Structure 1
């Protein structure tokens, strides 16, 4: 079983999906940990996360929004669908009439849940584990360079190198847990993702840049040059910071940083 004091989880794999069984009561106090757990299952990139609700009590109806919240956190990346199985006809009917069903499909059983999944988009993936040493940023850049060349997407190379450098060096400098740093590269639907994981569970946050000029550092740079970025928890502990870059024609970096001269 996985989880904390309030809710525990069982997990099995079926046809490439993570089928998870939460046990316990979803309360307002457990809300964030519950959504974090759903995100962690999705970050492992199964075909889908299928949640069986038979043994989950929900303290109040608004707390069902946890499923929509988790879906929004993983919709851009890793893009893994979250699906509910509800065997109780009355509970299933209520959920299908609620706002939850706008984001998360509700099925009667595993057979219908699996049948209702769309064909997953093809993904190309490459991963590299880095020891947290002073040259880890350089090794990450070499990995990104090689991967962009091998996958035939040279136009995203410069942005990807900048993102990988910032995320890896941020992990190296600020993680308090001495463990390998994982770099995950992914190409899906003409979007290139750089994801960097470490064992430190503290969330990556934007910090205010310096006030002495139009300069932006660290995650501010990542946020400016990427289509989207985020920070997700992962099992058994730690986090993954990710950024999505569109492939295609690359904008001049000076546009992102506001450094073009004004005419």
Structure 2
């Protein structure tokens, strides 16, 4: 039996309720589901594993991997809730010591409710037209100036412009640009309607039009990557604020 998941929204958070049997064979499907949840850029991701039978403790590594991804982007906490006694013992291993583990969903909610930090964010829906890149630069510039980050105006506007241009040139779909200020990073993400992964050219032709967008993003950003999401993908990049 594979792992079954039920995802529900709680305000700005997402709760994922697991049931079934967790084995190494179904780790991939669990990871894909959780990455799609991260692509929604929630305030927090709560994983209820109280009904999950962990038959192979090594499979718990999927939660540690997703938590590491969430720390890189979108910079949100991943909270593991309600592990059974045997699972709780496995989570004491060194490989899982960075995981945030709580006895129940309510205990995790209480911690999140006690931390009422508001993460500033600007977003806009853009059409796949030539003027979209200019609008993306304007949004990134406005965000940097609003949040007292004038030194990031140039790289943030370049990254936003290039990510949006890639959608215009390749995906040809509507897109959502979101710029968010986290504790240590300014994060820029573009969600589009294509599931095709972005490709970083290894040897772009100097005479070919385009093709350099992700090279510029790669050179300017602290980190960048992409995640699958419902109906497409999210490509993101982060800039250190200090």
Superposition TM-score tier, normalisation by shorter sequence: 0.7 to 0.9
Contact 1:92–1:108 at 8 Å: present in 2 too?
no
Q: Which residue of 2 aligns with 1:210?
A: 204
**Secondary structure of 1:207's aligned partner:** coil
How far is 1:137 from its partner?
1.3
Deviation at 1:123, TM superposition (A): 1.4
TM-score, structure 2 as length reference: 0.85
Structure 1 segment 33-72 matched on structure 2, within 5 A:
33-72=29-68
Matched, 1:199 2:193: yes
Structure 1 residues not aligned, in runs of 5+: 249-263
Match of 1:256 in 2: none
What is the rounded CA distance, in whole Å, between the counterparts of 1:101 and 1:189 in structure 2?
A: 23
Q: 1:233 touches 1:239 (CA, 8 Å); kept in 2?
A: yes
Partner of 1:154: 150
Query: Does 2:7 align with 1:18?
Result: no
Q: What RMSD, in angstroms, separates the aligned Cα atoms of the two structures?
A: 2.7
User: In the TM superposition, what are the counterparts of 1:108-257 in structure 2 within 5 Å?
Assistant: 108-117=103-112, 119=115, 121-175=117-171, 179-210=173-204, 217-234=212-229, 236-248=230-242
Distance 2:214 2:231 in 1: 22
Number of residues paired by the alignment? 238
Q: Residue 211 and residue 199 in structure 1: after superposition, are their counterparts in 2 closer, same or farther (change >3 A)?
A: closer
Structure 2 counterpart of 1:255: none
Please report how far the alpha carbon of residue 189 of structure 1 lies from its aligned counterpart in structure 2 after TM superposition. Answer: 2.2
Structure with the higher helix share, 1 or 2: 2
Based on CA coordinates, which of the two structures has the bigger radius of gyration? 1
- Classify the secondary structure of the residue corresponding to 1:74: helix
Deviation per CA, 1:152-187: give whole Å up to 9, x if none. Answer: 322211111211111111122222xx5311100112
Residues 63 and 120 (structure 1 numbering): CA distance in 2 closer, same or farther, change over 3 Å? farther
Distance 1:156 1:17, change over 3 A: same
